[in-house]
Amino acid sequence: MLRKLAVATIAVGLAGGALGLGTAAQAQAVKAGVLTCNVASGFGFIFGSSRAVNCTFAPGGGPPQHYAGAINKFGVDIGEVEAIYDRARSLGNLVASGVSCHIGSQLLDTGPVMEAVDKVLALIERLRAAGHVIRYVDLGGGLGVAYKSADAAPEIRAFIGKLKNKVQGRELAVMVEPGRSIAGAAGVLLTRVLYRKRTPKKEFLIVDAAMNDLIRPALYQGHHEIVPLRKNGRPAILADVVGPVCESGDFLARDREVADAAPGDLFAVSTAGAYGFVLASNYNSRSRPPEILVSGDQWRTIRARETFEDLIRGEQGF
């Protein structure tokens, strides 16, 4: 059995998306030397070895898409946090040495984040006054990207500057999780128009990308700008851009003003670098597309297009 000392950050809100690690994953984290593990529900896990943990707490408030609070599955309610740290004193293989907080996702206004930071720092001061040695603070992520042309994404340098002003001099190792704000705008999904369909009430552009390739529109009603690779000079049309899968939820855009494209034309579905390929699936026996890395005027394949053999490779016993 592993006997490394474990560090924990207790998560107030959502931290890292790890609500429940199985024992195998916990052991793997210890072996890998993971700095801290976030705890989002008291100590509802079993570590076979010591581990540092962060408590993720729910500061309350936040934007409409916030995760924190007593009605959500993420995090520990702020009213319960201090008792959990006190309990951690009796657990010899855990060191509750940090606090983690994540209030939501796709935040274009950083004001609620700064309010949460103030609550986190106040909590840390109370914990330190009670004798807890708090060395780490994970302030989460959630910074948004400009999915729509009218969106104004937060300016990263200014955001970090505000955080620095709040945490400097507090003897804390500060972690943030920029995630989407780094990857989101860096990726596009390329898709080809297969054919067009018109009903008495609607126009459809059927493309070869589907909900299995980019599920955000169907799952979250997420908006992605859809732009033609070549402009043809014709006026835009109002249409649904849909995939070929037999699902009414298989769409990339509904009632959207898009280019008047013809079969064979290519579209770029923008801002697909986050929650794009990582959420892709083989639903409907569809192979996933290749991933291409573009750097300057150079490109290379970094993940090959899947084949039918890839789809059935794990099947056996028939």
Given 37, 55, 101, 246, which residue is catalytic?
A: 246
Instruction: Choose among 122, 134, 170, 131: nearest CA to 54.
Output: 134
> What is the distance in angstroms between the CA of the first residue and the CA of the last residue of the chain?
39
Taking the C-alpha atoms of residue 283 and residue 279, their distance in angstroms, rounded to an integer, is: 11
Cβ-based neighbour number of residue 242 at 10 Å: 24
17: helix, strand or coil? coil
100: helix, strand or coil? strand
30: helix, strand or coil? helix
Taking the C-alpha atoms of residue 175 and residue 137, their distance in angstroms, rounded to an integer, is: 6
SS (H, E, C) 274-317: CCCHHHCCCHHHCCCCCEEEEECCEEEEEECCCCHHHHHCCCCC
Residues found in the chain: 318
Q: What is the side-by-side order of every strand in the sheet holding 266-269?
A: 226-228, 266-269, 189-198, 203-207, 237-242, 251-258
Catalytic site residue 246?
Answer: yes
Counting other chains too, the contacts that 289-295 makes at CB distance below 8 Å and 24 or more residues apart are 289/189, 289/209, 289/213
Cα 212 to Cα 9, 208, 277, 284, 316: the distances in Å are 35, 11, 9, 8, 24
Give the DSSP per-residue string, 122-184.
HHHHHHHHTT----EEEEEE-B---SSTT--PPPHHHHHHHHHHHHTTS--EEEEE-THHHHG
Residues forming the active site: 246
